[in-house]
Amino acid sequence: MKIVVDDLSSPEIARFLDEHVQQMRSITPLESKHALDLDGLRGPGVTFWSVMDEDTVVGCGAIMRLDAGHAEVKSMRTSQARRQGGIASLLLDHIIAEARRMGYTRLSLETGSAEFFLPARRLYEKFGFAYCEPFADYKPDPHSAFMTRTL
């Protein structure tokens, strides 16, 4: 497996991300869905990585610049068939290292508060993220959990 910076131009990553957005829409009310679509992930200040197993996308994640020292983790996803295989941990470790290398001193994220998102919240806790108040443009939302950590 390898982690690569992805320019989001392949049909495979477009399908992978569309599945992510559709799944989030099926779980979370539309007004509480904060997953970025393909155009949002192509925006300025976003670095996107794909986890590749040969030619197959098995995971992805991104960081979005909030300010000079603060970035947000976005679009963390592992393919359904590869969950519980360590891909998310490998990717999150990579994202944290890259955020440090880019000069960020804080990483924050928004994830769901529903039971479905419990494995994600546990992963983030394992990597030192703690629950926090909404950051950036987020507002309090019963469907969201906000987490942050210093680097």
- CA 133, 118, 56 angle in degrees (round to 5)? 110
* CATH number of the domain that residue 103 is part of: 3.40.630.30
pLDDT in tens, 103-118: 999 999 999 999 989 9
Residue 135 inside a domain? The answer is no
Share of the chain above pLDDT 90, in %: 74
CB 40, CB 6: distance < 8 Å: no
Task: Give yes or no for residue 20 having a pLDDT over 80.
Answer: no
Q: What is the pLDDT of residue 33?
A: 63
Residue 132 inside a domain? The answer is no
Q: Where are the beta strands (DSSP E) in the chain?
A: 2-5, 46-53, 56-67, 70-78, 106-112, 130-131, 144-150
Minimal CA–CA distance to 6: which of 61, 66, 43? 61
Residue 119 inside a domain? The answer is no
Task: Give yes or no for residue 31 having a pLDDT over 70.
Answer: no
pLDDT in tens, 33-79: 667 778 889 999 999 999 999 989 999 999 999 999 999 999 899 98
Range of the domain at 51: 2-108
Residue 48 inside a domain? The answer is yes
Task: Give yes or no for residue 146 having a pLDDT over 80.
Answer: yes
Q: What is the pLDDT of residue 80?
A: 74
Give the chain's domain count. 1
Q: Please tell me the pTM assigned to this model.
A: 0.90
Task: Give yes or no for residue 85 having a pLDDT over 70.
Answer: yes
Residue 19 inside a domain? The answer is yes
